[in-house]
Amino acid sequence: MKNLFWVCLGLVLLFGFQPAPVSASTLASRLSGKILLQVEQNGEAWYIYPGDQHRYYLGRPADAFSIMRTLGYGITNANLMKIPVAVTNLSGGIDMDGDGLKREVEDSFGSSDLLRDTDADNLNDYEEISYGFSPINAVNTFLFDSAFSPRHKGKIFLQVQSHGEAWYIDTTAYNRHYLGRPADAFTIMRNFGLGISDADLAQIPIGGTLVVPSSTNFTNWQPISQTVNGVDYIVQCPPAWEVDYASDYGGAVSLTQCSKIYAGQYALDDGITVSVGYVPTQTGAYYEVNGENYSTILMNNVLHQDNVSLYTNNSFSGYYSMANSQHTFRFLARRTVSGGYLEVQAIAYGSSQTDSQYLTKVNQIIDGISVE
């Protein structure tokens, strides 16, 4: 009997107290925001998007860059400055003043690439950024917020008040890493890769795939219909292209986003993202970011570029910036409807097509908008 007791006890210890299998949803939640590498295959990289906890294949550097742009969250400069900066990818490009920051990083922080110490406080711009101070404010107020960045671990942020620069918040130190160009971004993302087995990876659902058009002949577009606040409208998007729902104005507005109008069949790193949404008058007038009207901020992002032109088409009016020194096509136009307005935003990086070609694509979408 004693032997039977010990055998039973051993079986209980062996089987009765085994932890329950990790569910797929728990696994995806635990790995949210991480980069996973298939160690049993060829090291394929996947990003677990915090927004839906699905996995998105990163593929080649250009593919990964497109994923980052599409899945990025908009963030104000004030909130971005709360997140500590990883200084590993801030140099290596054009650096006219020799302060250790490449030009596009200086643009992100608003500092000058011609002055080592933009605010003349005896700390150069690189030192201020790494210490947690603003390089454009001589009053050295510590900006990092230790409680803010952990809440956003694993996210990709896009600077809506600058030129759309992309930053990845790592899931361990909660630092932000400048993603830069496709090759730089791909290297950073893979450096944070976590090995995973095929069996565990299979538990995490695959997110929508960005579809590359077979040609640049944009015909037979599909209608996307929405009814918001009593307004029915239809937006024509390219056939078989993914449509996701981004939010703007603090999440108060749902935007239909033609997820990526690629600049060409083989140029996945340079493209244009177009969003269309209904903005209630009250939201557009009163939503603020750091005391500034957000609707005004969006418009100023275009107006503050150089080479700005007036835009009118299909009852939409606004502005667009072409051939500017930032090499960024920016567009914003609005059309008044009952209780608010329709808003079209567009931004394009790179130069595989001309700004005029980008504008043509925006025009195609606006031509295809009808209000009922």
State the CATH number of the domain containing residue 294.
2.60.120
More confident residue, 348 or 213: 348
The verdict on 259 and 356 lying in the same domain is yes
pLDDT at 252: 66
Sort 135 into a burial class: Cβ within 10 Å, 0-12 / 13-18 / 19+: buried
The verdict on 355 and 255 lying in the same domain is yes
Q: Looking up tokens 């020194």, which residue turns up?
A: 325
Among 151, 170, 201, residue at a domain's last position = 201
Asked whether residue 4 is assigned to any structural domain, the reply reads no
The verdict on 47 and 154 lying in the same domain is yes
pLDDT at 174: 92
Give one word for 323, left, alpha or beta, with left for phi > 0 and alpha for psi -120 to 50: left
pLDDT at 213: 35
pLDDT in tens, 218-272: 456 666 677 766 677 777 766 544 555 556 776 666 666 554 444 333 233 346 6
The verdict on 193 and 283 lying in the same domain is no
Asked whether residue 162 is assigned to any structural domain, the reply reads yes
The verdict on 267 and 123 lying in the same domain is no
The answer to whether residue 164 scores a pLDDT higher than 80 is no
Rounded-to-integer distance, Cα 187 and Cα 196, Å:
18
The verdict on 268 and 165 lying in the same domain is no
Helix ranges restricted to H, 132-274: 182-191, 198-201
Number of domains in the chain: 2
The answer to whether residue 354 scores a pLDDT higher than 70 is yes
How far, CA to CA in Å, does 335 sit from each of 176, 202, 325, 338, 343? 37, 45, 29, 10, 7
More confident residue, 61 or 33: 33
Asked whether residue 297 is assigned to any structural domain, the reply reads yes
The verdict on 52 and 118 lying in the same domain is yes
Asked whether residue 217 is assigned to any structural domain, the reply reads no
**Confidence category of residue 361, pLDDT binned at 50, 70, 90:** confident
pLDDT at 319: 94
Asked whether residue 235 is assigned to any structural domain, the reply reads yes
Among 201, 236, 263, residue at a domain's last position = 201
Asked whether residue 90 is assigned to any structural domain, the reply reads yes
pLDDT in tens, 116-135: 888 888 888 888 877 778 88
What predicted TM-score, i.e. pTM, was given to this entire model?
0.53
The verdict on 97 and 175 lying in the same domain is yes
Written as six digits, the tokens of 298 are 């969006």
- In a 13 Å sphere around the CA of 314, the CA atoms on its Cβ side amount to 16
The verdict on 166 and 250 lying in the same domain is no
Name the strand (E) or helix (H) holding 168: strand 166-169
pLDDT in tens, 177-195: 988 777 777 778 778 888 9
**Cα 341 to chain centroid, rounded:** 25
pLDDT at 270: 44
- Closest by CA position to 247, among listed 206, 283, 293: 283
Asked whether residue 155 is assigned to any structural domain, the reply reads yes
pLDDT at 350: 56
pLDDT at 334: 93
Asked whether residue 126 is assigned to any structural domain, the reply reads yes
pLDDT in tens, 290-335: 677 888 888 888 888 888 999 999 899 999 988 766 667 889 999 9
The answer to whether residue 337 scores a pLDDT higher than 80 is yes
Which residue segment(s) compose the domain that 60 sits in? 26-201
The verdict on 176 and 303 lying in the same domain is no
**Cα 220 to chain centroid, rounded:** 28
pLDDT in tens, 37-86: 998 888 888 999 887 788 888 877 767 777 776 777 777 788 888 998 88
The answer to whether residue 6 scores a pLDDT higher than 60 is no
Go through 273-302 and write b for each residue having 16 or more CB atoms within 10 A of its CB, e for each that does not: bbbbbbbbeebbeebebeeeebbebbbebb
The verdict on 192 and 228 lying in the same domain is no
Rounded-to-integer distance, Cα 160 and Cα 140, Å:
24
pLDDT at 275: 78
The verdict on 176 and 243 lying in the same domain is no
